[in-house]
Amino acid sequence: MGQMGVSWRKCVDALSGALYRSVDFMIATLSGTRQQVLQAALKKFADCGYEGASVRDIVEAAKVTKPTLYYYFGNKAELYQALVDYAHDERLRLMQAAAERGRTVADKLVQILAALFEFLRNNRELMRIAFATAFAAPGELPAEIRYLDKCTRNFEFIHDLIRRGQASGELDRRFDSKELAFGIYGQLNVYVMAHLLIPDCQLNRQTAERIVKLFLLGAGAEGCPERREI
């Protein structure tokens, strides 16, 4: 295809991150063949895990040859990495865009959770891969698979929001900023995992508002001794 063809593919890939989209939308913006490979890999990895999804299974599902798959991805690990990267990069992009729509810290948190809940509803298989990667046993995935740096980056986005909330007086400074960030981010991830296990677990804006309200007000009654001692 030559250098011009390679550059064109890179441009198309970059443009796919410009708007909100489900993973199906993202894949649909790529070249037809690469689209087939990514979609087939997503399904196989989500259903069978990394080891259970062979390159043969993926190319058969995508209706392409192995040389075609290796033209776009160096190996199975690179293909898996592309899906993991998209899951974490899109999560950050959505959080950044959602935070811009909020005025107060509470507003920003509600917007963030609501946006991520919508993304999950549209991308269950992708989220299953992301969580499976984070909780994989040693040796279950190739050593070159990277995810922790982007997980940390996404957490730090929330942590920075919490720090700014404390600086503005919207959040209690008696608590460590990282503890508060773990509190809200932990609730978010527990709800996401619950939805993956129990699809009937509703994730919507109302749920986001309730989570943020609990985070800000706490569960202790007004008159309980523990609340007064904080």
Predicted local confidence at residue 13, as pLDDT:
42
Which pLDDT band, with edges at 50, 70 and 90, does 202 fall under? Answer: confident
Residue 180 lies in a domain: yes
Counted domains in the chain: 1
Residue 229 lies in a domain: no
Residue 10 lies in a domain: yes
Percentage, residues of the chain above pLDDT 70: 83
pLDDT tens-digit map of 161-173: 999 999 999 999 9
Residue 227 lies in a domain: no
pLDDT tens-digit map of 36-83: 999 999 999 999 999 999 999 999 999 999 999 999 999 999 999 999
Residue 11 lies in a domain: yes
Q: What is the mean pLDDT of residues 189-207?
A: 90
3-state per-residue secondary structure call for the chain: CHHHHHHHHHHHHHHCCCCCCCHHHHHHCCCHHHHHHHHHHHHHHHHHHHHHCCHHHHHHHHCCCHHHHHHHCCCHHHHHHHHHHHHHHHHHHHHHHHHHHCCCHHHHHHHHHHHHHHHHHHCHHHHHHHHHHHCCCCCCCCCCCCCHHHHHHHHHHHHHHHHHHHHHCCCCCCCCHHHHHHHHHHHHHHHHHHHHHCCCCCCCHHHHHHHHHHHHHCCCCCCCHHHHHC
Range of the domain at 41: 2-219
Q: What is the mean pLDDT of residues 204-215?
A: 96
Which pLDDT band, with edges at 50, 70 and 90, does 7 fall under? Answer: very low
Does 141 or 225 have the greater pLDDT score? 141
Tell me what the pLDDT averaged over the chain comes to: 86
Predicted local confidence at residue 4, as pLDDT:
41
CATH number of the CATH domain containing 126: 1.10.357.10
pLDDT tens-digit map of 92-111: 999 999 999 999 999 999 99
